Amino acid sequence: MKKPTYFFKILSIIGLISAFAFTVQKENPDFSTRKVTFNTGWNFYLNDSVKDKDTINSATIWRTLNLPHDWSIEGEFEEKSPAGYGGGSLNGGLGWYKKTFKVALENKEKITSIIFDGVYRNSQVWINGHYLGKRPNGYIGFQYELSPYLNYGDKINEIIVKVDNSKQPNSRWYSGSGIFRNVWLETTNKLHVGQWGTYITTPKVSSQSASIHLETTLKNQYNSSKKAIVTTTILKNNAKVASATQNVTIAANASQVQNQDIIVKKPVLWSVEKPEQYTAVTTISIENTVIDEYKTAFGIRNFKFDLDKGFILNGKRVKIKGVCMHHDLGPLGSAINTRAIERQLEILKEMGVNGIRTSHNPPAPELLDLCDKMGFIVMDEAFDMWKKSKNKYDYSLDWDQWHAKDLQDQILRDRNHPSIFMWSIGNEIQEQWSDEGVIIANELSAIVKKLDTTRLVTAAMNPAVNMNIDEVTLQFEKSKIYFNKLATSGALDIIGYNYAHQTFEHHQKNFPKIPFIATETTSALETRGHYDLPSDAVKIWPVRWDLPFTGGNLGNTVSAFDQVRAPWGSTHEATWKVIKKHDFLAGMYIWTGFDYIGEPTPYVWPSISSYFGIVDLAGFPKDVYYMYQSEWTNKTVLHLFPHWNWKSDQNVDVWIYYNNADEVELFLNGKSLGTKKKIGDDLHIMWRVPFQAGTLKAVSRKNGKIVKETAIQTAENSSKLKLTADRNTINADGNDLSFITVDITDEKGTLSPNANNEIQFSLKGSGKIVGVCSGDPVSHESYKGTKHTALNGKCLVIIQAGSKAEKLELTASSKGLKSNSTIISVQ
């Protein structure tokens, strides 16, 4: 790579500033708020994404955009993309961002900093030609103080960010590229609460009272020592419940940690069902004037991982029913959007999910805020590799210089979130079977423990212990055990199992003193709405990475009967049956909640996204979603599949997931096909039915009384489009989204289960179509276009609000089908 001459480049850029039109940001006119978003009105330029030319100059043509931004998602899927199939066949490249802004004169005596929540990857930042620093890790938050280099009043400032994601491959999944998380500007007094400056723990919690311990870092950037009063007020629903005040003296240009202890009487505890939070408002005052105010949301809860009983939250056993998630948001790519994350979590909550693993990196802060608010048990993960690489240009290259700082910053940033219960120091680390791994694991664990001892440290090991099952007797054999080095390193407080569900039941024998968590399970594969018959025909995805699915090339489309799995994984049912059986198995995180871009398995073109999700890339549940819903929620479930459009007399396996009932009776065109019930640990029932067009109806009963009825019909010819918005009213904030499902149906409204028509979208109003997606892992159509081909009758279009109140009208049309429109109110 050509070495850039930054000095020259920055000088020439500064020279150019006057030539460019700039907009002064409305979003932050007076800096009255401590932290404001700094996302709008950036300029962006992408160097040749493949050849990696590293230049900007007077000829550079910039494009204006708002952050968060992911440039890779705007590109085309390419079979030979340097990112590889793992990276979703979308290119990385090298991008430049810049933004001009003014800072009010009155802020001259203040401290102004810029906060990046995450820039993928290798970001370098300059302000007015001064180099502020570099951050290789794309998932970590960081900030730079700008004040020493700022112009105040009418003079313009320019910030430049170079993002280098050109060395590929560097990720096993789709990373996205660019300033893909929020950017903030923070303005404080010279005496203020430092970066991530509060740490709140709840050492003693009972229903009567909770003791709150606060450690607050006070930073004095004055050249003289300061006497001040520090007050922390605890609020519940904006009402004061307790407070503590102290006089402090902070030396010139120094930081100090202030301890405070506060009792909250009759605390309202944070739980999965009622994720109640408190707010700690810390103020620093000098001579009766508040000069800084810092808010920290936190929760009061107690928990333990018990060797026999599993996870205990506030004295109650809670099975962790979690899913692993990558950070992309399907068609939106990796550019974070709070509503898009919230929608994912809502869909998962509806299924009964109560846990999220942030595989395999620190997540966007908004995800953690939402998990706090919505009640998820989070495993916050740091790394997918340590010193040894998994991809040629991955983070292993930055390991020596950055890992300690990155891990430390993750813990400092995240340690007040009530939803976090475990820190994972790594996923399937290459060093896990070596002595070197033991040394690194202990180093990482010590870094975590220095900053937080209230949560458990784990690592996701594959496997934690070998499959110590005698092949003849199928019995557990102690003599055959060998342990993962990390598991016996002493670094871990809880043993993290990736896969090998056959070993779970032996955990207590293998690790009598360390509790259990299945950090990653299952890896079953499905394409939403696609069914191969008979349902058990296709079982294990081939043993070789590079081959298409078994049974010949099925077009890289996988049957949605829960039968197809990666060789190291299991069907959904198989792992859940084990986890369900024993209390000491605290729970699991399934690979994965949603499909994600990249890592198609099989690892072959034309697949560009994964098949592991319980929910597809567009957010449409696959059938197995309802198996979990029937097991994990109290909602009455009666889900029958596949669809009812087959050839006459073809044998169709009809699967049914149900709950809250003793039995189910199935009717074809009014004629009973008999009654069935789950036996033993069954999780579904099945009929093999010779197909006849018409109506297939299931009726579930308890004690002879009907609990629920569900019917599926044979669809006639496709005739029209049905539009259903998840929300018909959205906020006029320029960010909010409406997710609109498009169903292709027959004249009567029955979903056409095999329809794959191309659908065009148009929008009236100042909103934007920001994503289109069918959930098809082999589609190469852009998610950023205005047309898309449906998969098995369904497609999704995402509308983003503008910043004015108006009515947006979305029209969907498709050749040979009746068009349809829907109105989204922006308020």
Chain residues binding ligand GAL by CB under 6 A are 172, 427-428, 462, 498, 520, 523, 566, 591, 599
φ, ψ for residue 437, nearest 5 deg: -60, -40
| Choice among 520, 526, 573, 599 that is catalytic | 520
In the complex, least distance from residue 771 CB atom to ligand GAL, rounded to whole angstroms: 24
504 near 482, Cβ under 8 Å?
no
- Catalytic site residue 709? no
Which CB, 493 or 599, lies closer to ligand GAL? 599
What is the number of residues in the chain? 827
Min dist. Cβ of residue 823 to ligand GAL (A): 41
**With 0-12 CB in 10 A as exposed, 13-18 as middle and 19+ as buried, what is 285?**
middle
Tokens of 12: 């020439």
Beta pairing partners, 248? 228
Q: How far apart are CA 307 and CA 314, in angstroms?
A: 16
| Min separation Cβ 709 and ligand GAL, Å | 37
**Least distance from C-beta 174 to ligand GAL, angstroms?**
12
CB of 519 to ligand GAL, least distance (A): 9
E strand or H helix at 414: helix 399-414
- Closest to ligand GAL by CB, 593 vs 767, is 593
The nearer residue to ligand GAL, 313 or 459, going by C-beta atoms, is: 459
d(CA 329, CA 780) in angstroms, rounded, equals: 17
Q: Of 108, 91, 272, 276, which is closest to residue 187 (Cα–Cα)?
A: 108
HSE value, Cβ hemisphere, 13 Å, CA-based, for 369: 11
In whole angstroms, the minimum distance from the beta carbon of 12 to ligand GAL comes to 43
Which sign, positive or negative, has the C-alpha torsion 438, 444, 446, 449?
negative
Which pair of tokens denotes residue 720? 């029209």
Three-state SS at 102 = coil
Question: Could you give phi then psi for residue 29, rounded to 5 degrees?
Answer: -70, -35
Residue 619 near residue 558, CB atoms below 8 Å? no
CB of 565 to ligand GAL, least distance (A): 9
In angstroms, what CA-CA distances link 147 with 119, 156, 170, 188, 221? 22, 14, 34, 10, 11
- Closer residue to ligand GAL in complex, CB, 566/696: 566
- 159 φ, ψ to 5°? -110, 135
What strands lie across the sheet with 289-298, from one edge to the other?
239-250, 226-236, 278-286, 289-298
User: Which residue number, 322 or 771, has a Cβ lying nearer to ligand GAL?
Assistant: 322
For the beta sheet containing 142-145, the strands, ordered from the edge strand earlier in sequence to the opposite edge, are 35-37, 183-188, 111-116, 142-145
Nearer to ligand GAL, 43 or 396 (CB): 396
How far is 323 from 594, CA to CA, in rounded Å? 9
Least spacing, CB of residue 626 vs ligand GAL, in Å: 22
Q: What is the rounded CA–CA span in Å between residue 56 and residue 158?
A: 15
Cross-strand partners of 148: none
Nearer to ligand GAL, 54 or 599 (CB): 599
Give the nearest distance from C-beta 77 to ligand GAL in angstroms: 20
The distance of closest approach from Cβ of residue 462 to ligand GAL in the complex, given in angstroms and rounded to an integer, is 6
Within 13 Å and on the Cβ side, how many CA atoms surround 455? 27
In the complex with ligand GAL, which residue's Cβ is closer, 54 or 328?
328
Please, which residue, 298 or 591, has the CB nearer to ligand GAL? 591
Report the residue number, 462 or 735, with the smaller CB distance to ligand GAL. 462
Give least dist CB 701 to ligand GAL, A.
39
Nearer to ligand GAL, 428 or 562 (CB): 428
CB atoms within 10 A of CB 474: 8
Is 520 annotated as catalytic? yes
Between CA 654 and CA 700 the distance in angstroms is 15
User: Distance between CA atoms of 140 and 406, rounded to whole angstroms?
Assistant: 7
Active-site choice (158, 186, 428, 573): 428
In the complex, the smallest distance separating the C-beta of residue 568 from ligand GAL, rounded to whole angstroms, is 7
Measure the CA–CA gap between 677 and 321, rounded to whole angstroms: 25
Tokens linked to 419: 């939803």
Which H or E run contains 234?
Answer: strand 226-236
CA dihedral 769, 774, 777, 779 (to 10 degrees): -70
CB 247 within 8 A of CB 227: yes
Closer by beta carbon to ligand GAL, 590 or else 812: 590
Contacts of 15 (CB under 8 A, 6+ apart): none
HEC profile of 137-177:
CCCCCEEEECHHHCCCCCCCEEEEEEEEECCCCCCCCCCCC
Residues marked active site are found at 428, 520
